[in-house]
Structure 1
Amino acid sequence: MTTDRMPPSLLGLGRDILVMHILPQMDAKDISSLMQTCRELAKDPAVRHAIYNAIYNAMFPPPEAMPPIPQVGWEERWNDRCSSRIYAWGKASYGRIGAALSDVDQDHRCRRGVNRPWPVQAFSDVVVRDIGCGEYFTAVLSTDGEILLVGDFDVHLRGVSPPMRLKASNAKFTAMSCCKSYLLGRDSADNIYMWHKKQEPDGVFLDFGGLKVQRMVADSSLLAVITDEGGVAIWDPPRAWWSGRIRATGTCEVNYLVVPHTGGGGKGAGDWGIGRVVDMAVGASRIAMITQNGELFTTEYDYVREIVSAPEYCADIHAAVNGERITKVYILFGRLVAVTANGHVVQAQYGMQLTEVELLDLDDVVQVALGHVHCLALTTNGSIYAWGTDDKDCGSFGMDTAQISAAGGERTSEMFRVGTRLAKPTRVHAPPMYRIAAGAYHSVAVGKRECERQD
């Protein structure tokens, strides 16, 4: 059954509701049927993990990591999601959070930005399926299949403007991925489009030469996809920009490379040495991959020789989590963060190799978001935790000065960045949230409409 024949309300459910509240109430037979009849849902790594584990009698997340499930149907949860709203905090310049600093209440503001979650009026009528951030923009994928954007892919926009609806085809969008300076969207026909100039709302069609793409991840330097066969292919968009092959509109042929030993792909396919890949992340030249067995591998792309090295098993990461299966991985600017099936979080710095591997004091984590130098984690009960560096004190932690000081925040000056550093994850005072995203110096979340202070 194709996805356009499924009830729109089911397709519009966020994966957090599916994984945390619906799948645990279904038996293995029903979940297996869902995987076969609703292809779009089964494509999402978190949903596929949950389906796989449920069939093999292992819950995801484990029962002890799940919040209590009230005896209500998914229709009530859908109504709750419909009444949710988007909150933003951090640097407010260039319209990146959809509001000017002067529009924000004084008690939510610091000198350079918004330091407590603030409801974004620009998206007040949007029912959110997913959110994402770039350096100067915030993007929202609605349950109606539209992608809306505030801010800009560069600094050309000098103020707040209404959300722009990105266009590409007559089909509805089912997924998106954001990075520093561009955005990817996939429609219901599995076509992938790229936007990198807000002045041109029509996206560039990326021609993968018939390669069937299951999942896509964007980074400012690399684009990576997981194929239907479970292989990983990468592509260098900046090289295509510089060569003139990507125009403001039209079609661009993707000359991708297949990561060795991941199999799959229409050309250059390798063997299945590391197993089928189910999730991945890219950052600068680094590619991290999770296999269906919960093993984490990393590899490197050589921009000069245009080759990809063989994947290496991340033994230090697995040792730090006592052999727990890895289910999610994130990379940005020298930081790798991985989440286990039990909701534990481990982070590492990397240059030539992974170093400073550290298990964080966090439990029941379902999502992580990485800014340039600040990090966020979302737990099963909707709490957000922040750590890292608040560059230039623009409010990217979502905390006021008193909260940061109470949490042990310290002034820092690293790599020409001056700000405040939080070494340990600290809870952000905010309503319960469903999804989070982080840009360079700002953050966004989807949560309950009431904006009461949560202690």
Structure 2
Amino acid sequence: MSEIEGKENELEVGLPPDIVQAALPFLTTDDIKNLSQTNKYYNTLLDFDHSKTLWHELFHKAFGTLRTNDEPFQCQNSAEFKTCTESILREAYPDLSWQDIYQLRAYDAKFYSWGYLKHGRLGFTGSSNSELAATSLNGPSPRFKYGVNIPTEVPWFNSRTRSRSGFCSPEDSLNAIKKDGDEIIAQVSSGGFSFQILTESGNLYSTGSTFSGGCKGPGPTGSQHDYNPFREMIHNMERSYPRITSRSSGGTVNTTGTFHGRRMSNSHPSTVHEPGERHSTSVQTTTTDRGQAQVPSPSPGRNYGGVPRTTMPAIGPHDNIYSEIEMLERSATKAVPGNNHIRRVFARNSFPLYSSSDDNLETFNDIQYIAVTSGRSHFLAMDRDNNIYSWDSPESDQGVKIEFANMPSRITNPILKIACGWNFNSCYIYKVGLVAWSEREAVEKGKSFSFAKYEIIPNTSDINGNSRVIDFACLQDNCVFYINNDGDKLWKYHHGLSQVVDLNIVGRLCKINVCFAALIVFTDTHCYTLKISNGDVDKESLTEIDIEEKVISVASGDYHTVALTESGHLYSWGVESQDCGCLGLGPSERMVNELHIGNWEGQRNIKVVKPTKIELPEEYICVSVTAGGWQTGALIIKKN
């Protein structure tokens, strides 16, 4: 055989299939595509039309959310480990190929929400969603509604639907995935006042007019504030621009226009009239029909800053000194097509003004996220480069990059999982352990990040053996619950101390979930709930969840809980505050008077004690559930 023939044969072989399969989790989709085009061997092994291994791995990459506390860490020697979504789809569609399963989850899973309508937190308002029926709205009158009482589809990219049969051309399946990646919902997380939506392409969206509700999150320490280059830029421009003044009654009027209204890059502009919401004001000159500039008074007959209403000669047309900032703002305010109540959110690092780059708007797409988790008035996201960003201030809609001083390199010690508590954040760092922080330093001028003021929870750094942390959940005030691989103890860390919480339960602990008022404990055989008061677990409240089906996921809001079963069914119970509809069980009067599943507690609160099935049409199944505040959300698929 000639030397040339030998080299040609070498190009037709590669690593053994088992080695390639083991390496797939560490490769991006682009890496996999490039590998498949290396030679005939890899092209056959990674055939996008027929490879079971490939599509199984692509499914895990897109929808196997293991980077937040929605799912526990993957345990040792658990080849059969399945996420909740995977378990439900495999139960419902045992005969489908992994390619069909991927396409089903990608294109048929729609986001549904229900609960309190205020601030547009559901991703729509009472008048903006054509899917809303009159009977699905709670409220005292046709014009005044509190909430939505049944799961209702959220308008998303004009609610486009693609059938599995038309998923992609055989020439390049990966390109089809990437083309529609921003329409494919990978994960939904719920905070106290909004939902956060992560797409398969790595973009992040938030619902409504406010994610903070006007409440301070785990942001800058004390009264500190992040440096705002936009405010400084506007101030400098206004100072440098020629002014024409008119003196009257001892006062001076500046005729230079002001920046109209919103903070720079406010993703959720709104006029707000209630506590906790944001509002903005501006003083603008107007021009009369006679060509004179006029400074408006706040109200007729009143002086403005000691100066009565004054007219002055028009100064003539001039350039808008704010045009560049306004253009940047418009570019950063990207709503979902057809729905202004869901807008894309960005990190501070995405804006050129925070760096010396002159690339303008190209940096908006540089950061791609792989996980999101939400607290009461804040949320965290992690990007593909293992960086954490925190949206934690009512003053800004921009995420701040979080760094940890005196920590080892992210290359050797990556962040494996992120989680939000009620009013703090936590993450798990490889060989470091659980790290918690409730405040950070303010971002200084010239800096693109903030140092977290963190604490490391002792004895959580093991990566092997029975003491390895397999799941954790965050409450409030740096209170963290966690379980180890041995599965026989529930640990609670608070005020610098770790202690065991003794529970009279059956089975081996494998998963935990916590919210403001409830702790949910999963064992390999049972699922329990416990009440929490002021951070303390009420052991006497231990109750096994009374559902005949196997419960695999539980989400909680302030006072209500929703369970998801392996069959894709939803059950809810708890308190539906102020007639908000968060239980999803229908109109209040019907729950109490017809179905007899709830009782009035006070004037507008309904309590449902027993887990009650949320009625979905027979051809629908749920694959993911989230809850927070007074609202609930789910990803629901209509069976074909």
> Fold conserved (TM > 0.5)?
yes
Q: Identify if the C-alpha distance between structure 1 residues 298 and 418 changes in structure 2 by more than 3 Å, giving closer, same or farther.
A: farther
Task: Specify which of 334, 337, 346 is matched with residue 528 of structure 2.
Answer: 346
- Alignment correspondent of 1:220: 422
Q: Identify if the C-alpha distance between structure 1 residues 117 and 353 changes in structure 2 by more than 3 Å, giving closer, same or farther.
A: closer
CA-CA distance at 1:90 after TM superposition? 0.5
Residue 134 (1) aligns with residue 319 (2): no
- Alignment correspondent of 2:28: 6
- Alignment correspondent of 2:544: 359
Q: Give the aligned residue type for 1:360.
A: I
Contact 2:65–2:371 (CA under 8 A) maintained in structure 1: no
- Alignment correspondent of 1:268: none
Distance 2:81 2:381 in 1: 32
SS in 2 for 1:408: coil
- Alignment correspondent of 1:250: 448
Q: Give the aligned residue type for 2:471.
A: D
CA-CA distance at 1:8 after TM superposition? 7.0
Distance 2:185 2:81 in 1: 30
CA-CA distance at 1:244 after TM superposition? 4.2
CA-CA distance at 1:167 after TM superposition? 2.1
CA-CA distance at 1:222 after TM superposition? 2.0
Q: Give the aligned residue type for 1:218.
A: C
Contact 1:95–1:158 (CA under 8 A) maintained in structure 2: no
- Alignment correspondent of 1:80: 104
- Alignment correspondent of 1:116: 150
Distance 1:60 1:450 in 2: 20
Q: Identify if the C-alpha distance between structure 1 residues 283 and 309 changes in structure 2 by more than 3 Å, giving closer, same or farther.
A: same
Q: Identify if the C-alpha distance between structure 1 residues 90 and 353 changes in structure 2 by more than 3 Å, giving closer, same or farther.
A: closer
Q: Give the aligned residue type for 1:153.
A: F
Residue 309 (1) aligns with residue 493 (2): no
Q: Give the aligned residue type for 1:77.
A: I
Distance 2:524 2:530 in 1: 18
Q: Identify if the C-alpha distance between structure 1 residues 419 and 139 changes in structure 2 by more than 3 Å, giving closer, same or farther.
A: same
Task: Specify which of 453, 461, 467 is matched with residue 263 of structure 1.
Answer: 461
User: 1:353-378: per-residue Cα shift (whole Å, max 9, x none)?
Assistant: 43211111134112111100000111
SS in 2 for 1:395: coil
Contact 1:262–1:274 (CA under 8 A) maintained in structure 2: no
CA-CA distance at 1:154 after TM superposition? 3.0
CA-CA distance at 1:197 after TM superposition? 4.6
Q: How many residues align?
A: 407
CA-CA distance at 1:53 after TM superposition? 5.0
Distance 1:60 1:381 in 2: 14
Distance 1:177 1:113 in 2: 24
Distance 1:140 1:64 in 2: 21
- Alignment correspondent of 1:146: 203
Contact 2:186–2:200 (CA under 8 A) maintained in structure 1: yes
Task: Specify which of 106, 117, 135 is matched with residue 92 of structure 1.
Answer: 117
Distance 1:40 1:77 in 2: 11
Q: How does 1:426-441 map to 2 (within 5 A)?
A: 426-430=612-616, 431-441=620-630
- Alignment correspondent of 1:185: 381
SS in 2 for 1:121: coil
Distance 1:39 1:127 in 2: 9
User: 1:284-308: per-residue Cα shift (whole Å, max 9, x none)?
Assistant: 1331102123344232433xxxxx2
Distance 2:115 2:469 in 1: 34
> Root-mean-square deviation (CA), in Å?
3.9
Q: Identify if the C-alpha distance between structure 1 residues 163 and 207 changes in structure 2 by more than 3 Å, giving closer, same or farther.
A: same
Distance 1:65 1:290 in 2: 28
Distance 1:450 1:72 in 2: 13
- Alignment correspondent of 2:520: 337
User: 1:86-131: per-residue Cα shift (whole Å, max 9, x none)?
Assistant: 1010111101011111342212111111001111004535311110
Distance 1:379 1:361 in 2: 12
Q: Give the aligned residue type for 2:150.
A: R
Distance 1:88 1:8 in 2: 33
CA-CA distance at 1:219 after TM superposition? 1.7
Distance 1:121 1:42 in 2: 23
SS in 1 for 2:78: helix
Q: Identify if the C-alpha distance between structure 1 residues 236 and 264 changes in structure 2 by more than 3 Å, giving closer, same or farther.
A: farther
User: 1:39-85: per-residue Cα shift (whole Å, max 9, x none)?
Assistant: 99695478776663534x89899x99973542211111122121221
- Alignment correspondent of 1:396: 582
Contact 2:124–2:341 (CA under 8 A) maintained in structure 1: no
SS in 1 for 2:458: coil
Distance 1:105 1:246 in 2: 50
CA-CA distance at 1:261 after TM superposition? 2.2
- Alignment correspondent of 1:269: none
Contact 2:120–2:341 (CA under 8 A) maintained in structure 1: no
Q: Give the aligned residue type for 1:52.
A: Q
Distance 1:339 1:256 in 2: 29
SS in 2 for 1:254: strand
Q: Identify if the C-alpha distance between structure 1 residues 46 and 138 changes in structure 2 by more than 3 Å, giving closer, same or farther.
A: closer
**Could you tell me the TM-score, scaled by structure 1's length?**
0.78
Unaligned runs of 5+ in 1: 11-25, 266-271, 303-307
Task: Specify which of 482, 499, 502 is matched with residue 289 of structure 1.
Answer: 482
- Alignment correspondent of 1:107: 135
CA-CA distance at 1:3 after TM superposition? 6.3
CA-CA distance at 1:196 after TM superposition? 2.8
Distance 1:333 1:43 in 2: 23
Contact 1:207–1:251 (CA under 8 A) maintained in structure 2: yes
Unaligned runs of 5+ in 2: 1-22, 33-50, 140-145, 161-182, 215-269, 273-338, 351-365
SS in 2 for 1:136: coil
SS in 2 for 1:392: helix
Q: Give the aligned residue type for 1:71.
A: D
Contact 2:483–2:509 (CA under 8 A) maintained in structure 1: yes
Task: Specify which of 416, 419, 433 is matched with residue 231 of structure 1.
Answer: 433
Residue 279 (1) aligns with residue 471 (2): yes
Deviates more, 1:108-117 or 1:121-130: 121-130
Distance 1:382 1:284 in 2: 30
